[in-house]
Amino acid sequence: DAGVIQSPRHEVTEMGQEVTLRCKPISGHNSLFWYRQTMMRGLELLIYFNNNVPIDDSGMPEDRFSAKMPNASFSTLKIQPSEPRDSAVYFCASQFRGAFSDLNSNQPQHFGDGTRLSIL
């Protein structure tokens, strides 16, 4: 079974450039999450979608960051313009979200292998 697929795996670019990270969630999953991992802050949630709709973007650091999910099988995280402090590993995760009232519907999030982003 294909897991969460992220591309590119590595990205090195100069500050000021636009960066686009891509994610394909697991088929059938209806929630998608973007995380950033840094040494200082660990794994932090940036934004998540449910049924392609952004639900919570309170973790997005600045207006330079934007995320879209045009359909159930694709999402992008864009940084424009990029800055050196954006250097981090960015993870995408997906999950099947069941009914709120059903405790058995608790499902874990499944992560991609991440994109290591370096802004020079």
Partner 1 sequence: DQQVKQNSPSLSVQEGRISILNCDYTNSMFDYFLWYKKYPAEGPTFLISISSIKDKNEDGRFTVFLNKSAKHLSLHIVPSQPGDSAVYFCAARSAGNEKLTFGTGTRLTIIP
Which of 12, 15, 55, 120 is close enough to bind partner 1 by CB under 8 A? 55
Please list, in sequence order, all residues whose beta carbon lies within 8 angstroms of the beta carbon of residue 42, skipping any fewer than 6 positions away.
none
Report 12-31 residues binding partner 1 (CB under 8 A): 31
When the beta carbons of 17 and 118 are compared against partner 1, the nearer one is: 118
- Asked if residue 68 binds partner 1 (CB under 8 A), the reply is no
The pair of structure tokens assigned to 116 is: 């290591």
| Residue 38 interacting with partner 1 (CB under 8 A) | no
- Please calculate the CA angle 75-78-80 and round it to the nearest 5 degrees: 165
Instruction: Confirm or reject binding of residue 34 to partner 1 (CB under 8 A).
Output: no
Q: Nearer to partner 1 by C-beta: 74 or 111? A: 111
* Cα→Cα distances 95→16, 35, 40, 63, Å: 33, 14, 26, 26
